[in-house]
Each structure stands twice: as structure tokens, then as C-alpha cells.
Amino acid sequence: MTVLKKSEIKRNALVKATITLVNNNGFHATPMSKIAKMANVSPATIYLYFENKQDLVNKVYIGVKAAFTAYAFATYQDHMPVAQGFELIWKRIADFKLNEGEEALFLAQCDNTPVIDEDSRQAGIKHLKPLLDLWERGRQERIIKPLSDYLLYAYTINPLSFLMVMQDRGAFKIDKNTIEDAYQAAWDSIKH
Amino acid sequence: MTVLKKSEIKRNALVKATITLVNNNGFHATPMSKIAKMANVSPATIYLYFENKQDLVNKVYIGVKAAFTAYAFATYQDHMPVAQGFELIWKRIADFKLNEGEEALFLAQCDNTPVIDEDSRQAGIKHLKPLLDLWERGRQERIIKPLSDYLLYAYTINPLSFLMVMQDRGAFKIDKNTIEDAYQAAWDSIKH
DNA sequence: AAATTAAAAATGAACGTTCATTCTTTTTTT
DNA sequence: AAAAAAAGAATGAACGTTCATTTTTAATTT
């Protein structure tokens, strides 16, 4: 187990609190005072770790996005066959969303609203490079339809976010079968 | 052309301003004073038409949702064959999103964030009934995979919202071909 | 090892601003 | 002229941020 400095513990608590509160109320309905309270910290302390509120969400977003993509690509290797590589990455992403529900929800919220600075958003997109490369290979090998990255994303990765949000609202429950069905639908929509 | 009472003109201006400003800045970053200014109205006047800020978004949301579903189902009849009915509805929805970009974007934003009251959200969902009925018929006739409504929605309707948001950010442009490709992907993902 | 000092981290109260909403006055309509 | 609609100014609460201090940690000296 990594030993954390006290300051890192505080920073982590602030990040956690931000994620939870933004998930439940949205960014602008989450005052710094509440974040501080949930992290057991004085409001002023936040400003030792972050420049201001905007800087706080930006940094939390980038951090979560990094953790997300690290998880997604952890077991992927770029010499894998396209279909196998896609299934692997897709299911890792699904795993992340299931196991790290709060983080996934936070990303979904940030990706769909004008909360994050454009710079931070761009930084987050960069991390997807391996998947975009895989898709390019898939198109060239005629395994994947000749669709733009945006369409491929819209029909494979994005639906997971939607399902997450619905689950969070208590509308329904994602289980093993749901995941398998969703994967089939995703693959069917883009396979040649 | 319908003749509008002066009061209706003001109300419409307020609705329009709300949509535009919420699209660009998000709900909580949109002050009543700005909405009033954009609608050429005093802040106080808003309160003649709406109880408060929350009531304002709720009502705008419900109104836009109603217009959206009216458009989506305008030419649909429930005796149509499943595949034909689905294509019709899907393409009407795509049309709406293209022609009424601001309204569509507003819905996407409200559907993905905790801005709208749960009651208003539920009211919005009710309007989708004809589509859910069509899907049920499709499942029974083994034309559509036996997937839950949420999965069908995630893989057919929701991707359009994602593409809209991306287009709004200037990331890419939706054209006739995109729509056709998207429809094919949607159908491929759910057809038996 | 204990005592002292310096540095860093953290705090709670306070400030200035912004915002939703209300109040009073003016304008428009009937 | 009375009633209704609209306006602009006013209000109080909430917020992000800063500031003056205190507390904790680390370094240095005895």
C-alpha cells in the first residue's frame, strides 16, 4: 500500500467530494463551502491545492479521465486483431463504468455540459488515441464500416454513458446480461 | 400565420432566450437578468409568466419536449410495419435535430444533467409511448432483438444527441450521408 | 533527546460581488 | 379613469475568494 502524505490525503478528499457533489447537483449548484465541508476542510484550504473553482473541476476532470483511459487500455496491445482488441477495450470500459460508477458519472456529466474548459476537454480526448488507431486499422482491413470516429464513438462507447446515467437515476439495473447485449449491439452497429 | 397576443410574444421571447443562454452557458450560469435582457423584458416581467427560475426551465423543457415528439410522430401511424415505422420515426427525429438545432441541444443538456425536476422529466418520457409500443411489437414479431427499451434507446436515439453536441462544439458536421450512416448503424444494432 | 526556531499547512471570519426575487412606480390597455 | 402589465430600482441571501491568525510539521540547535 502506498503511503500518502497528509497533504495528498486532503487533496484526494477534495477530489472525491467534488465528484460526489457535482454528480448530485451539478457544478454550478455545488458551492465551495459544501465541497470543503464534505472533505472536512476549511474553504480556504481548497485554494492551497487549486487556483479557483474552475481550476478545481478542470483538474478533477483530467485526473479522472486519465484513470479511466489507463484502465481502459491496461490490457490492450496494438498488435491484437481488430475484433479482439475492440472487444477487449470495450469491455474494460464497461468494467470501469460499473466498478467506478461515481467517476464514470462525473465524466459523463462533464462531457455533456459546458462545465469544463475547452483545453481540458481536448486534453481528455488525446488519451483515446489507441482506440482511434485501432478503428483506423479496422476500417483499412474492412472489418469495421468506413465511418468517422465520431460515429463509431456514438454507437459503441457513448451508449454506455447513457446507460450509466439511467442506472444512476434508478430507472434500471445494469447486469452481466445487459453488458453482453450492449456489446453485441455495439459491435453489430459498426462491423462490416 | 397565427396571430399572437402581445403577452404570448413576450413569453415566447423568454422561452427562446432561455434555450439559447442555457445552451451556451448551462442553467446555473444563466442569470435571470440575462434572460430578461435577451428577451427585451424586465427581470420582474419573467415572474408574471413563471413562478421562479426552476419553474421556467421545467416549463421550457416540457414545451420543447412536446414540440419534439409531436414532430417525431407526426407522420407515423401505428399500423405500419415495424421496420418501416422505425425508419420513419428515426428519420423524423434526425430531421428535428437538424432543423431545430437549438431545441434539440437544449433537450440533450436537460436530459443529461440534474437541472430539470424529476416530475418534468417523467412527463417528457411519457410522450415516447408510440415508439415504445412499436419496439414491443418489433420484439414480438422477432424483427427487433429482445432488448430492453433502455438499450434500444441507447443504441438508436441517443447517439443522435451525442452527434448533435459534437457538431455544436464544431468538432464535425452532420450531413445527409452522416444521417444515412447513422441510421444504418442504429438499425444494425437492434435488428434481429 | 529535548528545546527552540523556522516553515508550511490549515483555519474561520470577512469582503465584495452576483443573483433570484420583491417592491414601488410608471406605462399601457380596456 | 380603473385595471392590468411592465419596468427599474431595491433587497437580502449566497457565493467565490482573500486575509490575518493559529496550528502543525520539520529543521536546527542545545
Distance from CA of B109 to the nearest CA of A (A): 7
Asked whether residue B48's C-beta has any atom of DNA/RNA strand D within 7 A, the reply is yes
Residue in A101, A117, A165 with CA at minimum distance from that of residue B116: A165
Question: What's the Rg (C-alpha) of chain B?
Answer: 18
Tallying the residues shown for chain A, one arrives at: 192
pLDDT at residue B114, as a whole number: 84
Mean pLDDT of the A35-62 span: 95
Nucleotide nearest to A32 (CA to C1'): D16
Nucleic acid strand D within 7 Å of B41 CB:
yes
Option in A109, A155, A171 nearest B159 (CB): A155
Show Cβ contacts of residue A54 under 8 Å, excluding neighbours closer than 6 positions: A117
Largest CA distance in chain A: 57
Please indicate whether, in this complex, the C-beta atoms of B145 and A181 are within 8 angstroms of each other: yes
Q: How confident is the model at residue A2 (pLDDT cuts 50, 70, 90)?
A: very low
Report helix, strand or coil for A146: coil
Chain A window 4-43, residues with Cβ within 7 A of nucleic strand C: 6-7, 10, 40-43
State how far the Cα of B79 lies from the Cα of B163, in Å rounded to an integer.
Answer: 31
Mean pLDDT of A50-69: 96
Distance, in Å, from the CA atom of A121 to the CA atom of A102, rounded to the nearest integer, reads 19
The reported pLDDT for the residue numbered A5 is 62
For chain A, report the end-to-end CA distance as a whole number of angstroms. Answer: 46
For A22-45, how does the pLDDT look when each residue is reduced to its tens digit (9 = 90+)? Answer: 999 999 899 999 999 999 999 999
Residue B23 has what pLDDT? 94
What was the pLDDT predicted at B141?
98
Least-confidence region, from A115-124, A158-167, B88-97 = A115-124
pLDDT per residue as tens digits for the range A60-105: 999 999 999 999 999 999 999 999 999 999 999 999 999 999 999 9
In B47-97, DSSP assigns E strands to none
The one-letter amino acid at A17: A
pLDDT at A112: 83
User: Among B118, B122, B114, which Cα is nearest to A23's?
Assistant: B114
With a cut of 50, say whether residue A155 has pLDDT above it.
yes
Number of other CB atoms surrounding residue A183 within 10 Å = 17
Cβ of B40 near strand D (under 7 Å)? The reply is: yes
Q: Is B168 helix (H, G, I), strand (E, B) or coil?
A: helix
User: Are A163 and A156 in contact, with CB atoms under 8 Å apart?
Assistant: no
Question: CB A159 to CB B159 under 8 A?
Answer: yes
Q: Sketch the domain layout of chain B as residue ranges.
A: 1-49, 53-190
For residue B78, the model assigns a pLDDT of: 95
On average, the pLDDT of chain A sits at 94
User: Would the pLDDT of A116 be above 60?
Assistant: yes
How many C-beta atoms lie closer than 10 Å to residue B169's C-beta? 11
| Cell numbers for B38 | 435577451
Confidence (pLDDT) at B5: 61
Residue A190 is predicted with a pLDDT of 98
Q: Which CATH superfamily is domain B53-190 in?
A: Tetracycline Repressor, domain 2 (1.10.357.10)
Name the nearest CA neighbour of A124 among A53, A68, A52, A51.
A68
- CA nearest to A153, candidates B32, B166, B144, B140: B166
Is residue A125 a contact partner of residue A68, using CB atoms and an 8 Å limit?
A: no
**Chain A 40-99 contacts with nucleic strand D (CB below 7 A):** 43-44, 46-47, 52-54
Does residue A4 have a pLDDT over 70? no
* Domain covering A1-49: architecture: Orthogonal Bundle (1.10)
Please judge whether A158 and B162 are an interchain contact, meaning their C-beta atoms are less than 8 angstroms apart.
yes
CB A104 within 8 A of CB A164: yes
Cell digits of residue A24: 448530485
d(CA B36, CA B33): 5
Residue spans of chain B under pLDDT 50: 1
CATH topology of domain A61-190: Tetracycline Repressor; domain 2 (1.10.357)
Task: Give the residue whose CA sits closest to C19 at C1'.
Answer: B31
> What confidence score (pLDDT) does residue B1 get?
47
- Give the pLDDT of residue A80: 97
A151:B182 CB<8 A: yes
